[in-house]
Structure 1
């Protein structure tokens, strides 16, 4: 995937990260993403579904690369156990940044391959990401899980991630790790937009609108392009230490959905 506006090339794990166009020919600073389906990069067959990691390049200068390793269905535990964290740590270099965002699937405590306890194993696994990045002299940033679209029958929004965001906030404080509180930021945005307007951000489509979803879809967890772009905007705006932030793009309220492109296959699953 490559964003055509204000962004950088997005790579895949196992592929070489593009070098800078500078005369010195040095490797570009890279932002890596470790996360789940809400951040993942999706394929042509998934259009208009997109993850916020897929949209990150829109808000970064072209001298910063993005390698989105976010994997659908992953928790902090399964991502590490499947070797996905090792792939990132093999590729990450001094000065790079690692965004770490889990919680959605850690909550599935009935699944021993993915479930974690917020105050014990969730924090234990997250420390693997922080310690690994720091050992490589890279910069980890914790990102609390983006909030789902959840409203009562009266249109009142409510939180859905239990104690996982608080556990991540506490870990960030304890380890002196920068934190992007995406749970709070996204909840504030969904609260402002309300039940109907949020459908334009989440993967809500009427039957016949998209050939990839001929019967329509009502998904309160995953995003279509517009939502992925706006969540990526929240991440980069709050991520003061993310390198190469494009302030012009961040302050552009009318970035079109077609700024995103989709690869032939989902890179994290290829």
Structure 2
């Protein structure tokens, strides 16, 4: 049997695998498949509204623990819901239980010989009154806590929070509306009244931010860079997946 390399997503709705019931909402985990080799299998365990605390409490990390193996990857992206202090079932302290929980994800990957990768949360599209710059600190100090943990544990950190903020500001308020869930009434059956949402993504946004992650991972080199499609090769034989 041919060995199939896999990578696992652990996270919230911004990376979740969506279906027609939430269309056109698209998670980064869906668009990321555009960049990786066809021979790599994606298993996306991300779910709406989850924090590190609730993801673990619901047994989702245990499910990954049972399936992940040597040479696989575990992408760990949390922060949007850990910061919700009003909800004790999800809230974590940034430099306390948040880091402790992230370490549990790292330990699951490492004990199986897999590669953990930390990803700071996607920046929220909240422009200041000038319409050019984004409101500072929409994720408080959770990105900094993740970065600090990554340095301490020698785990790669993809700082999507910083890179996504820069990209949103570069393209501006008007152009980035179509990246996020800004939809008019009467177009999509599951959003009959329309929607204005500066956290969740449509397909183009998921593609844009997946590209940021891919670019930063390629810079890591080695096994991380090897995940991605060679731009000089336009075809990969699907037979690679067959016994």
Q: Same fold (TM over 0.5)?
A: yes
Structure 1 runs not aligned, ≥5 long: 1-24, 250-270
- For 1:208-248, what per-residue CA distance to the aligned partner results, in whole angstroms no more than 9, with x for missing partners? 23233222110010001111111111111111316421243
- Give the one of 215, 218, 223 matched to 2:193: 215
Separation (CA, whole Å) in 1 of partners of 2:186 and 2:226:
41
Which residue matches 2:135? 158
Tell me which protein shows more helix as a share of its residues: 2
Q: Say yes or no: does 1:81 pair with 2:57.
A: yes
DSSP 3-state at the match of 2:93: coil
* Alignment map for 1:118-129 (pairs within 5 Å): 118-129=94-105
State how 1:227-266 maps to structure 2 within 5 Å: 227-240=205-218, 241=224, 243-248=226-231
Deviates more, 1:87-96 or 1:206-215: 206-215
User: Which residue does the alignment assign to 2:165?
Assistant: 187
Please give the per-residue CA displacement for 1:104-163, whole angstroms capped at 9, x wherever unaligned. 000001211100000000000000000111001100000000101010121121231010
Match of 1:146 among 110, 118, 122: 122
The number of aligned residues is: 225
Contact residue 76 and residue 125 of structure 1 kept, 8 A: yes
Match of 1:226 in 2: 204
Tell me how far apart the structure 2 counterparts of residues 248 and 50 of structure 1 sit (CA, whole Å): 24
Instruction: Find the residue that maps to 2:8 and give its secondary structure.
Output: strand
Question: Hey, what's the Cα distance between the residues in 1 that align with 2:94 and 2:179?
Answer: 28
SS of the residue corresponding to residue 89 of structure 1 reads: helix
Whether the 8 Å contact between 1:63 and 1:244 is mirrored in structure 2 is no
Is contact 1:97–1:242 with CA below 8 Å preserved after alignment? no
Alignment of 1:1-270 (within 5 A): 25-155=1-131, 156-159=133-136, 160-240=138-218, 241=224, 243-248=226-231
Measured on the aligned residues, the alpha-carbon RMSD in Å equals 1.3
Whether the 8 Å CA contact 1:185–1:234 is kept in 2: the answer is: yes
Aligned twin of 1:264: none
- Unaligned runs of 5+ residues in structure 2 are 219-223, 233-243
Q: CA deviation at 1:50?
A: 0.6
Rounded to whole Å, the distance in 2 between the matches of 1:188 and 1:162 is: 17
Name the TM-score, length of structure 1 as normaliser. 0.81
